[in-house]
Chains A and B, each alone.
Chain A
């Protein structure tokens, strides 16, 4: 409702002074009054329209991946975690784009000036130890979430798997040291 207006009375055809106005709508009004009524009508229409939520997604349940001391440099070291990805689109579809802290978003960990490359894999199922290999800054599309609510506090507790692999080739060519880096995951509803 717009303060100072009385659209109900006017639409009933009662003008100032109580004179009957046979016309319908606002055609009989002039100038600023007509504009105010039109604006009020527009607001009423907007308020009456059902709210339409745009495509939305959420990633949660993430925790850090600590490999600790990698005792064998001759074999791959793998860490996985099941996480929650929610998408409210009709198909529950989404894409994931990963980027690391290396040059150009490369998947590399750093220990001072030394670098250690790693692989990132993704699965739209939880509890997986392998998935689709991701490339930095490149969206992996066509994924579907089984989450029924954001943060997965109802329905499946997790809906996707994040897999990080330190390849033997990388481990054996890296210098000794403590490495760390940040992996950023961008979820886009589809």
Chain B
């Protein structure tokens, strides 16, 4: 019967919305006062839900935090993938993906704070999750599906370097100015498989013309 189907659907949607509101509240609270200082009370008051509702969705603060980290990684993967297409060279694709991710982080600094600061503090092994989410796609871009890509330097380390730079920018309180770091971050993203020269070249392209990428995206 149609009405009951509708009812079920909206109830499901309600659950999904609540879960998302809780995750958003966790991200915002961590951005404001760090994970260590965030309490369940902070989260439920920000999300405008009851404690009971919180505990229906998550076992505890840590479980909620892990879900928030997973959500952020997924969002950014989507942003990076949508920023380039098959016709781009590997180096161009990496530059465009990096620029899009940094733009997304600048628009919502809480995400950057969560991923580069709090997530590492809560469990340093989280950096392995980031690597699993990024290095295989990167390698795939460079090898074009033909065997292994040659590495100039350790791509795992490049990730740590980027994390430290972003964390520092946020610690200074300039999260909205993250795009100023774009030349360095593009350099880091390209250099493991592209080498120093290609990385510098892409870094210069990023400096000169995010404008060109924006125009290409609007086409």
Q: Do A and B bind each other?
A: no
Listed in ascending order, the chain A residues whose CB lies under 8 Å from chain B are: none
Listed in ascending order, the chain B residues whose CB lies under 8 Å from chain A are: none
